[in-house]
Structure 1
Amino acid sequence: MPTENLTIATDAGHDLTGSLEMPTGLVRGAALFAHCFTCTKQSRAAVAVARALAREGIATLRFDFTGLGGSGGEFGRAGFAADVSDLVAAGSYMVERFQQPILLVGHSLGGAAVLAAADEIGAEHIAAIATIGAPSDVPHVLRNIDGDIEAIRSKGEGEVRIGGQEFCLGREFLERVENIDLLDEVKRLRKPLLFLHSPTDAIVGVEHASALFQAAKHPKSFVSLEGADHLLLQEQDADFAARVIAGWAHRYLPLREDWPMPEEGIVACTGHGKFGTEVHTVSHQFIADEPKSYGGDDSGPTPYDLLNAALGTCTAMTMKMYADRKKWPLEGVSVHVTHERKHEEECDHVEAMEEGKQMQALNRVISIRGDALDDDQRARLIEIADKCPVHRTLEGELHVHTRMGEVAD
């Protein structure tokens, strides 16, 4: 996916660093992702969910909380309230940029943070909220801190280890973590909620999901991430959670539907990647792109893939239609098409080309399935392949006429 790196100013005077995953094609909606405790925007879950949503046309921002990753400020003095403030700043940026209610997604403590931040962002700006492995009580995170918490309370600060990393925590951090009733916050929410949690989560037990689900009002949903660990370190677990959230979000996000569906032909609209282009037919929409080796994002077939596909699909359809009409026992057709740019180098029968022109070729290999077909029927089907409409168009007298269209808004 095309990724835009950006910074967001906070009221505390420092900047947050973010990565905005943009759809290759047109933007349909917007979302904000909050990472887990002491993680960063580069966590597997953050990247997987953000990019899955972007593939669905939902621009998604993943960012580093205060004092983590590339963001400024001191993590050890920030606490949960600072996470909420960071989300408000990031949420305000997304609402202002995309001018519509957004989806909030949070992982672990980030899940608790999006639940707590919803009111401050503003109910009118929130479309729905999804959490992954979120605790139902914020002080639960203190149990995962390796250090003398009581000494920090009395002395004002102290060294601790969290997830193998060393941090200096202050008394203010502890107070900000403890002074929130998350279940009470959830009870007041009147937004669609999705809770994803692993029943084998060893860090935040599944009973936390049960408590959140019971406190929430409808519409609410629960999805079990069976076999997953708390951080979704396995790629298949992160991808599953991402696909579930992306599919669920479509029901609640105010997705734009300003698709330029033509009455005939196709419309191709440039997107947000270097080459990514959204293609619209009378009733369908898909992405075309270039491979990463060519500077693209590899988010869809290339233009020449589509050219090959036009010939291949038309060939297969024509052969099947002919066999059906003849009531022949054709079981299936496979058509492999490749594009050859310098065909004259392979041929000794091609006349000298006009300077500046190039002889190109489409090479087609057709496999016919059907044990009951005889040799004559197979030979006739190969003859029919050359009569498919796209084949005739490509080998006929084809002109391309171009004119200026209306200026788009």
Structure 2
Amino acid sequence: MPTERISFTGHAGHDLAARLDLPEGPVLATALFAHCFTCSKDIPAARRIAARLSAMGIAVLRFDFTGLGHSGGEFANTSFTSNVADLIAAARYLASRNMAPDMLIGHSLGGAAVLRARAGIPSVKSVVTLGAPFDPGHVAHHFEDALEAINRDGQAEVNLGGRPFVIGKEFVDDIRQTELGEAVADLGAALLVMHAPRDATVGIDNAAEIFQAARHPKSFVTLDDADHLITDPCDAEYAADMIATWATRYVDMKPPAPPPGAPEGVIRVTEADPEGFLQDVQNGPYHHVLADEPEAYGGTNRGLSPYGFVAAGLGACTSMTLRMYARRKGWLLEGISVEVCHDKVHAQDAIPSGPAKIDRFMRVIHLQGDLDQEQRAKLLEIADKCPVHRTLEQSSRVETRLEDAPKLPDMSQEGQDIDAAAI
């Protein structure tokens, strides 16, 4: 996915560092992501969710709150309210680029922040929370041993996840006084609450309170055994896929007209896992599947292999072609099932110089219904006329061009904050 490294002005006038993850094709909608307490925009869960949404045409802006990551300002001078103000500033920046956010996504304390910020961002149609607390004051348990010093001296240095942070009294007072019940009830947008039942940092009861306070439309999805930071790539992928699927119901995403001669539109394949072979396969905003390789070949076996997709295309096209023919003839064809296997076999005549291997697709068709032998034989003949069958049997031409490579973003700092005691 193309990623722009940008900055915009935060609530107090400081430059806030951000990444804008863009689709390969047209931007159909925009999401704004808020990270967890003491984290940054670059934690793995944020990157995976952004990659998944951008693959389906949704641009995602993720940024570091004031005083965190690569953003300016002092963390000691921030508060929950200032985080909300930073979100509204980020939304104004997007609006200045004609990309006013349609969706807010917040992880942990960032989830509480997007619930409060929604009132100040009227373009938002949907809100997603991940492991969010209903009571932001819950975050104080991370530094309760320092509360006396903070109240006495106005601030104190605390150690969170092995890193020092200066926590100010304004932050503590702000989270203690913040209540989200009214903001959730008056959200004015569709809400998706995502939470792990075994979250040891923010209990599942917080999700129940958010869900009960919200009005319809609202949805809840469990993250099963995920940890609070959603560090497992499979958990992050699951969360991303659920958000992407849910978003299509509440965010109006109208893709442009397909290119002439290609009514199915453009299929975009984006690498999802540089360490393996997992790929996001997207066709417009609504059709998404995963491609992968078996574990024996270095993959994670979380999607069809490339040849599996070819076999699936042959099987689907065969079934559709038979249905069209039987429907036109008025035959009593009640059901169709097609099994396809692929391998490579030696073919003496493949090339004049000697034996070579060619692809062989073995297709078994099952027909249900009151059909006589003549009808069944005719349908077998028609199967060979399906368009994909003809494409595979005939010579095809693949024309390829290489786009100018975009400048890759600096990834050296990504993922360095995942050990923080985040909320």
TM-score normalised according to structure 1 size? 0.70
Equivalent residue, structure 2, for 1:110: 110
The letter of the residue matching 1:127 is: K
The letter of the residue matching 1:205 is: G
Q: Following the alignment from structure 2 to structure 1, what is the Cα–Cα distance between the partners of residues 59 and 70?
A: 21
Deviation larger for 38-47 or 126-135? 38-47
Equivalent residue, structure 2, for 1:237: 235
Counterpart secondary structure, 1:250: helix
Equivalent residue, structure 2, for 1:140: 138
Equivalent residue, structure 1, for 2:168: 170
Once the two structures are superposed, what CA deviation does each residue of 1:252-309 show, in whole Å capped at 9, x if it has no partner? Answer: 11x23243146854486698989x99878xxx9789x9xxxxxxxxxx99x9999999
Q: Is 2:112–2:134's contact at 8 Å kept on the other side of the alignment?
A: yes
Unaligned runs of 5+ in 1: 290-299, 339-345, 351-360, 371-382, 401-409
Once the two structures are superposed, what CA deviation does each residue of 1:4-40 show, in whole Å capped at 9, x if it has no partner? Answer: 2221222422222222222233322111111111111
Q: Is 2:311–2:361's contact at 8 Å kept on the other side of the alignment?
A: no
Q: Following the alignment from structure 1 to structure 2, what is the Cα–Cα distance between the partners of residues 397 and 161?
A: 65
Report the Cα offset of residue 178 of structure 1. Answer: 2.9
Counterpart secondary structure, 1:85: helix
Compared CA separation, residues 256 and 154, structure 1 to 2 (3 A): same
TM-score normalised according to structure 2 size? 0.68
The letter of the residue matching 2:106 is: G
The letter of the residue matching 1:259 is: P
Compared CA separation, residues 265 and 148, structure 1 to 2 (3 A): closer
Report the Cα offset of residue 103 of structure 1. Answer: 0.4
Compared CA separation, residues 26 and 203, structure 1 to 2 (3 A): same
Counterpart secondary structure, 1:193: strand
Report the Cα offset of residue 159 of structure 1. Answer: 1.2
**Structure 1 stretches of at least 4 aligned residues deviating more than 3 Å after TM superposition:** 98-101, 261-274, 276-280, 284-287, 303-322, 330-338, 346-350, 361-370, 383-400
Report the Cα offset of residue 224 of structure 1. Answer: 2.4
Alignment of 1:192-341 (within 5 A): 192-253=190-251, 255-261=252-258, 264-266=261-263, 334=340, 336=342
Q: Following the alignment from structure 2 to structure 1, what is the Cα–Cα distance between the partners of residues 51 and 147?
A: 38
Counterpart secondary structure, 1:69: coil
Q: Is 1:159–1:166's contact at 8 Å kept on the other side of the alignment?
A: yes
Q: Following the alignment from structure 2 to structure 1, what is the Cα–Cα distance between the partners of residues 353 and 66?
A: 70
1:69 aligns to 2:69 (yes or no)? yes
Equivalent residue, structure 2, for 1:156: 154
Report the Cα offset of residue 388 of structure 1. Answer: 7.2
Compared CA separation, residues 140 and 397, structure 1 to 2 (3 A): closer
Once the two structures are superposed, what CA deviation does each residue of 1:66-111 show, in whole Å capped at 9, x if it has no partner? Answer: 1222111111221212211211111222233344551001011000
Q: Following the alignment from structure 1 to structure 2, what is the Cα–Cα distance between the partners of residues 23 and 130?
A: 20
Report the Cα offset of residue 238 of structure 1. Answer: 2.2
Q: Is 2:34–2:62's contact at 8 Å kept on the other side of the alignment?
A: yes
The letter of the residue matching 1:89 is: A
The letter of the residue matching 2:203 is: G
Equivalent residue, structure 2, for 1:295: none
Kindly, what percent of the aligned residue pairs are identical? 43
Report the Cα offset of residue 148 of structure 1. Answer: 1.7
1:13 aligns to 2:2 (yes or no)? no
Compared CA separation, residues 199 and 58, structure 1 to 2 (3 A): same
Compared CA separation, residues 337 and 180, structure 1 to 2 (3 A): same
Q: Following the alignment from structure 1 to structure 2, what is the Cα–Cα distance between the partners of residues 31 and 108?
A: 17
Counterpart secondary structure, 2:125: strand
Q: Is 2:311–2:341's contact at 8 Å kept on the other side of the alignment?
A: no
Q: Is 1:35–1:106's contact at 8 Å kept on the other side of the alignment?
A: yes
Equivalent residue, structure 2, for 1:404: none
Compared CA separation, residues 273 and 16, structure 1 to 2 (3 A): farther
Q: Following the alignment from structure 2 to structure 1, what is the Cα–Cα distance between the partners of residues 394 and 204?
A: 65
Q: Following the alignment from structure 1 to structure 2, what is the Cα–Cα distance between the partners of residues 262 and 173?
A: 53
Compared CA separation, residues 12 and 167, structure 1 to 2 (3 A): same
Equivalent residue, structure 2, for 1:43: 43
Deviation larger for 104-113 or 57-66? 57-66
Equivalent residue, structure 2, for 1:358: none
Q: Following the alignment from structure 1 to structure 2, what is the Cα–Cα distance between the partners of residues 79 and 146?
A: 17
Equivalent residue, structure 1, for 2:275: none
Report the Cα offset of residue 151 of structure 1. Answer: 1.4
Counterpart secondary structure, 2:78: helix
Q: How many residues align?
A: 366
Alignment of 1:358-369 (within 5 A): 363-364=359-360, 366=362
Unaligned runs of 5+ in 2: 272-279, 292-302, 326-330, 345-349, 367-380, 399-423
* Alpha-carbon RMSD: 4.9
Equivalent residue, structure 2, for 1:90: 90
